[in-house]
Every structure is written in C-alpha cells, then in structure tokens.
Amino acid sequence: MPLIKSEVPRTLRQAERRPAVYQLNKQFVGSHRLLYQIRSGRFSQVWAAIDDGTGRRYALKTLLPDFQTDREQIAALDHEYSVGHKLNHPRVLGADFRGTSKVGPFLRMELCEGLNLRDVLRKDRRALQPWLTSIVAQACESLVYLHSLGWMHLDLKPDNFMLTPDGDVRLIDFGLARRLPTGWERFFWRRRNKSIQGTRSYMAPEQIQKRPLDYRTDVYGLGCALYHMAAGVAPFTASSTNELLTKHLIFPVPDARTDNPDLTPAFADLLRRMLAKKPEKRPQTVGDVLKEIQQITVRKEPEAVAG
C-alpha cells in the first residue's frame, strides 16, 4: 500500500523542487534539453530532460565521454532497453526509447522524481522506519512482476529502488538483468559468465562462485537490500573485497535486530532465511516472501505514552 504524500519524509518532498537555474541548461540530447543531473556513475549519468517538441519530461541515461564509443557499454545500454521497454507496472521504471545523438547513445525513461533509498539512508539510517512495511511490500511487488516475465534482476540494492514524493517504490536499472537459464544454458553457465557481476554488498554466494542462477538468487539480493533498509546497514561489511565476498560465502547471517531493536523477531527471521547460503534453504520465490510480509508484523508498535 503506497504512502500518502503528507507522510513522506521532508527530504523526499523537497526532491520535487529543483533550483530554477537548472532550466537554463542549453545542452541537447536529440530533441531533449537537459535540465539537471540526477546521478552519475562509473560509466554513465542520468539527466532530467524535457522534449522541446512535446514539452514532456523524461530521464535520459547517457554514457560518460570516455565510454561513448565503448562497445561493451553501448551493448549494456542496448540490453537495458531490451529489458526495460517491455516493462509496464507501477512498481518498475522501464525505458521507452533508445536513441543516438551528438553525445553518443542514450536511453530514455519515465522521469521519476524522488530519491533512491540508499540516498535516503545516507541522510538518516532510520528515515524509512515509520513506512518500512509499505516500502518492503512494494519492493517485493516489483520483483514479483519482473520474475513473472522471466527476468532475474541480479543487482538488487537500495540504490536501485526509488521512493517518490507520493510514497511509491519503483525498481530501476536492469543493466544486469538476465533471463532464467534453462537446460543447456545452465550447463554452460560458468563458461559463458566468466566474470562476477553485481554489487558485492548484495551478491548471493552462487553469483560469487559463478554457478547457475535462478529466482532464488534475487531472493538473496532482495534480502540484503531489505536488511539494509530495515537495519540501516548492509548485512555484511568488510575492509576489503575478498573479505566481504568471504562473509557472503561462509559467515552466519547477523540478526537485524542487533542494528535495529524495533524489528520484530518474525521479520528478522525472514531476513535470515532469505540470506541462507544454499538457495534451497531460502524462500523459493519472492511471492512467498511477499505472502509472509503480509502475514507478519515488520516493526514493533511504538509504546503509547501515558497521559
């Protein structure tokens, strides 16, 4: 159930208001005039833009100058479009156009005002607590839909969930999404996937070990993301990449109540099972996770103050 706008934290409602100076940007990508930068990553950046012909606002994903002719990054952009243009659900943010301009290839998406959940947690690790049940349920709904189309996301983390000023959660970034492997694809998985892909703080053991993946891999990644949203920190942290990956492989799952005592034992136990090392020990589908969320209490009710 979405939150109502008046309940959303002030920092999110402020995301609707952008300084007027951004309207002066004269740089164009195709027919789209850039307004302001939303975020920038290692290979690409995302801009809010307006189509000067129609007046409609969009988000544009463009490659950084050093990667505008890079075949691998162009292929990744094409792949993201091949997944995103088929998505049509209120809990996901797909893509509707893939074009090329003087600044290279770009991907056009619906403009989603708000903040990603990692940015919210950076501002205040407890900011999501009053609305945690709704946020967790909506995150599950987005993945149930994606799986129903035969896609695994494989990069689930707070950064890839947007929270709008109206309280809606939207799943984004399908650059690593893959079809569920079947038959011979599973047999040749390791040969065809020689590098580890994903975000290390949220990767399932089978991703690290380059074993065949399935929807239960996303159950693990979602468990890591929900743990971070609920506890304010990722389940595993380390001073080096190798140490972090080793923790995913062999360390016991910490109790989320250690970082947030307001979580219920039932929800902490669900997170623990989602982060099981062996896929068969996890809830078998995100639909199963959503059903449990709907049946349990995520957060303890605040104690009433005596009058």
Residue 190, token pair as written in the block:
């390791």
Whether 155 is a known active-site residue: answer yes
Distance CA 14, CA 175 (A): 29
Task: Give the C-alpha separation, 138 to 169, whole Å.
Answer: 6
CA dihedral 41, 46, 47, 49 (to 10 degrees): 170
8 in Cβ contact with 167 (< 8 Å): yes
155, 159, 168, 173: which is the annotated catalytic residue? 155
User: Which amino acid is located at 89 in the chain?
Assistant: H
Distance CA 44, CA 56 (A): 22
Tokens read off for 303: 């104690």
User: What stretches of the chain show up as alpha helix (H) in DSSP?
Assistant: 10-13, 71-84, 117-123, 132-148, 184-187, 189-192, 205-208, 215-231, 241-250, 265-274, 286-295
Q: How many CA atoms lie within 13 A of 93 on its CB side?
A: 26
In whole angstroms, what is the distance from residue 112 CA to residue 100 CA? 22
Which positions are annotated as active-site residues? 155
